[in-house]
Amino acid sequence: MIPEPTPLPAQSRDSTRSVHAGETKVKPYGSLTTPIVQTSTYAFEDTAAVIAHMQRKKADLPPLRGEYGRYDNPTQATVERKLAALDGGDSALLFASGMAAATTVLLALLSPGDNIVVTDDLYRLTREFCLVFLGRFGIVTTLIKSGDYAALEAAIQPRTRLIFSEAPSNPYLRVMDIPRMAEVAHRHGVLLFMDSTFASPINLKPLALGADLVIHSATKYLGGHNDLLAGVIVGPKETMLTLRTARNILGGVADPHNAYLLLRGLKTLAIRIQKQNENGLRVAQFLESQPKVRQVYYPGLPSHPDHEIARRLMTGFGGVVTFEIDGDLERTGRFVDALRLPYIGPSLGGVESIVEQPALMSHFTKDKAEREAIGIKDELVRLALGIEDAEDLIADLEQALAKI
Closest CA to 108 of 71, 66, 139: 139
* C-alpha span between 348 and 278 (Å, rounded): 16
Cα-to-chain-centroid distance, residue 226: 14
> Distance (Å, rounded) from C-alpha 18 to C-alpha 35?
17
Residue from 25, 41, 61 nearest 256 by CA: 41
Query: How many Cα atoms within 13 Å fall on the side-chain side of residue 198?
Result: 31
CB 18 within 8 A of CB 270: yes
Amino acid identity for residue 310 in this structure: A
Q: Which amino acid is present at 340?
A: R
Residue-level pLDDT at 340: 98
pLDDT in tens, the chain (404 residues): 567 788 898 889 999 999 999 999 888 889 999 999 999 999 999 999 999 999 998 887 878 888 999 998 999 999 999 999 999 999 999 999 999 999 999 999 999 999 999 999 899 899 999 999 999 999 999 999 999 999 999 999 999 999 999 999 999 999 999 999 999 999 999 999 999 999 999 999 999 999 999 999 999 999 999 999 999 999 999 999 999 999 999 999 999 999 999 999 999 999 999 999 999 999 999 999 999 999 999 999 999 999 999 999 999 999 999 999 999 999 999 999 999 999 999 999 999 999 999 988 766 667 677 777 767 889 999 999 999 999 999 999 999 999 99
- C-beta neighbour count of 135 within 10 angstroms: 12
pLDDT at 292: 98
24 with 6: CB under 8 angstroms?
yes
pLDDT score of 1: 59
Q: How far is Cα 163 from Cα 114, in angstroms, rounded to an integer?
A: 12
Active site residues: 70, 123, 195, 220
CA distance 96 to 91: 17
| Domains of the chain and CATH, by start | 84-256 (3.40.640.10), 269-402 (3.90.1150.10)
Neighbours of 66 (CB within 10 A): 20
Could you tell me how many residues make up the chain? Answer: 404
Angle between helices 329-338 and 390-402 (to 10 degrees): 130
Q: What is the model's pTM?
A: 0.94
- Residue 256 confidence (pLDDT): 96
Q: Is the peptide bond before 168 cis (omega within 30 degrees of 0)?
A: yes
How far is Cα of residue 208 from the mean position of the Cα atoms in its chain? 16
Name the strand (E) or helix (H) holding 153. helix 149-155
What letter represents residue 255's amino acid? D
Note the helical H segments in 221-377: 237-250, 256-266, 269-288, 307-313, 329-338, 368-373
At residue 249, the pLDDT reads 96
Integer Cα distance of 390 and 76 in angstroms: 35
pLDDT computed for residue 362 by the predictor: 67
